[in-house]
Structure 1
């Protein structure tokens, strides 16, 4: 598998990946995190234009997509029922979709971000997203507490420290 920056030409296939991921979330008891339309097309286009969207490819076929960028993320300014482990700058990973087209693509994407982050790496997920929580913990992330998105929704916060690679 390989990771590369997303291109606008990838948009139709990226949207299919997100659609498949939403269906998987519904099937595994996490129907509310992304609902039926997250992320919106405009968000995905912005991620691509800003060169913060990446795809995972195997044999020319897209297996996953994710957002990776330098922090800070305003949603991570406050953490509750715990604390961040790192004390400095961090990178963020969001909108991970690896809906099972290629076994292990989700872990591959997460490990790639951990290896390419020059500092701490933070990510969050819904309390009901048990598959993502499992993949994060399997790949060395530690659950640090709870954050709240700008819209007030709760998310479980995870962090990976570079020394853990």
Structure 2
């Protein structure tokens, strides 16, 4: 597998992957994270691609099997400024991964994408819904530390914040 920036030509495939992810999450006890609002919206994904912040994971046959948002910098995620029931570990530049999803065709896509992002910055923050046990287990397996609770502007559900240095 390899990671590359998403292009406009990947848009339809990306939206298929997000539809698969919504179904997977609902079937695994997490219907509220993306399902109620049909998240993520098409316009947001188009903006991610245009701003070169959307990445795809492709397999050996060059099929797009995963997608995620990645950016890095100082205080790049406004939703991460206020954290409850804990604190962030580091206060330097960090990377953030959002909207990570896979098509389910191969094992290890999520771990591959997250590890790639971590290698790019050495300090990564990510959050997930309290019902997303699959993602929580993956983050723990990859060495992330649970840091507290954050809230996103998209809905009222709290998110569990994780970090790895």
Pairwise TM-score range, normalised by the shorter structure:
over 0.9
Matches within 5 A, 1:15-54: 15-36=15-36, 37-54=38-55
Decide which moves more: 82-91 or 144-153. Answer: 144-153
Question: Is the Cα contact below 8 Å between 2:95 and 2:118 reproduced in 1?
Answer: no
Q: CA deviation at 1:153?
A: 2.9
Q: CA deviation at 1:124?
A: 0.3
RMSD (Å) for aligned C-alpha atoms: 1.1
Structure 2 SS opposite 1:145:
strand
Structure 2 partner of 1:73? 77
Alignment: residue pair count: 160
TM-score by length of 1: 0.93
Q: Name which of 78, 90, 105 aligns with 1:86.
A: 90
Q: CA deviation at 1:106?
A: 0.7
Unaligned runs of 5+ in 2: none
| Distance of 2:109 and 2:35 partners within structure 1 | 22
Structure 2 SS opposite 1:143:
strand
Matches within 5 A, 1:8-157: 8-36=8-36, 37-58=38-59, 59-71=61-73, 72-117=76-121, 119-150=122-153, 151-157=155-161
Structure 1 SS opposite 2:43:
helix
TM-score by length of 2: 0.93
| Distance of 2:116 and 2:16 partners within structure 1 | 22
Q: CA deviation at 1:92?
A: 0.7
